[in-house]
Every structure is written in C-alpha cells, then in structure tokens.
Amino acid sequence: MLGSFAWLEVPFWQAAVVGGVAYAAGCLWRAGPGPFALPPAEDKQPAEDSWPGEENQQHVSLVKREGAKMVLVVRTDLGLGGSKVATHCADATLQCFREATRRAPEQLRLWERYGQTKIAVKGRSEEEMRQLEARAAELGLVAHAYEDDGALTVLSVGPGPVSVVDEVTGHLKLY
C-alpha cells in the first residue's frame, strides 16, 4: 500500500492523480491556447461605448500608483459549505479574468504583476449584491455575478484599482 493522506481522508493514489491533473492544467494554461482552442464568441464582445478608453486609462494610472485587487463577495444567507464557496469563487474569478482580458487588458496585466490580490468578503443578500454589481458597472469596473441553481452566490469585482474597488466593497466584512 502506498499510504494515505489521513488528514484528507484520501488514498495516496487519488491525491497523486488530483495533483497531476492540477499540474497539467497549470502547464496547459501557461502554454496558452492550443490547436483545439475554440475561437472567442462574437456575441460576448462588449459594445464600443461600454468601456470608455479615457476611464480605462484613469484606472490604469491608479493601478500603477496604488496597486490592484479583486474582491469576491460571498453570499452568506444561503449557508453554503466551504467546498461549494471555493468552487463558486474560483468560477467567478475566472469569469472576471476572461472579461478583463477583453475590457481592461492593461489593468489585468498590472494586477498579475502585483500579485493577483483576491479578497473574500461577506454579502448579506442577493439584493445587496445586485446593488454592488450595479455600482461596479457605474464606476467602470469588471464585475461578474456567479449564479448556481438560479441563486446569485458570488459576485466578483475587479481586478481594478484598490481605491475604486473599495468604493464598491470597502464597507463589507471579511469572509
């Protein structure tokens, strides 16, 4: 017997397989899209006026001065388990990342350079999270509302300048 990770209650071979898959996924992500990558969906492109260039440049200059972060607002009134919250946060982060590659590539590049700060905070209700999403849109931030079974569970805001993201989520308590 190869042993087990008793603290995980997982046999060694299963942990090795999961680790190998995670390593391979990381290698593929770093390598970029391969020959089997799907072209970007045309209907998902933002309208020309939905991301003003001047506002984007203001955000880039702020990021250069103060850094960038992404905030994940996790809805607490649903009583989600830890693994479910982690999965939804990962999905919401990925969606914001994808949207930022189209809408704010310079901010995204700087966010990656400055350590990809991600902070999880508590959201009390779907109504509050919808208001936060609207406020983020007003300020020109990338935001994505992740829904599971028709219920909004996580709202990701950013990456964006620390001060601008804090205007949206700065009043919320850490998760």
Whole-number Å distance between alpha carbons of 18 and 16: 6
Give the amino acid at 49: D
Single pTM value for the model: 0.67
Closest CA to 164 of 104, 80, 83: 104
pLDDT at 6: 54
The pair of structure tokens assigned to 89 is: 């946060």
Compute the average pLDDT of residues 68-90.
Answer: 92
- Pairing mode, if any, of strands 68-75 and 10-11? unpaired
pLDDT at 24: 65
Beta strands in the chain (DSSP E): 4-5, 10-11, 68-75, 118-123, 143-148, 151-161
pLDDT level of residue 104 (50, 70, 90 thresholds): confident
Whole-number Å distance between alpha carbons of 129 and 93: 16
Domains assigned to the chain: 66-169 (3.40.1490.10)
Give Cα separations from 144 to 4, 23, 32 (angstroms): 39, 27, 23
Whole-number Å distance between alpha carbons of 136 and 158: 9
pLDDT at 46: 43
Per the CB < 8 A criterion, the answer to whether 62 and 139 are in contact is: no
How much is the mean pLDDT over the chain? 79
Q: Which of 23-27, 58-62, 68-72 has the lowest mean pLDDT?
A: 23-27
Percent of the chain residues topping a pLDDT of 70: 68
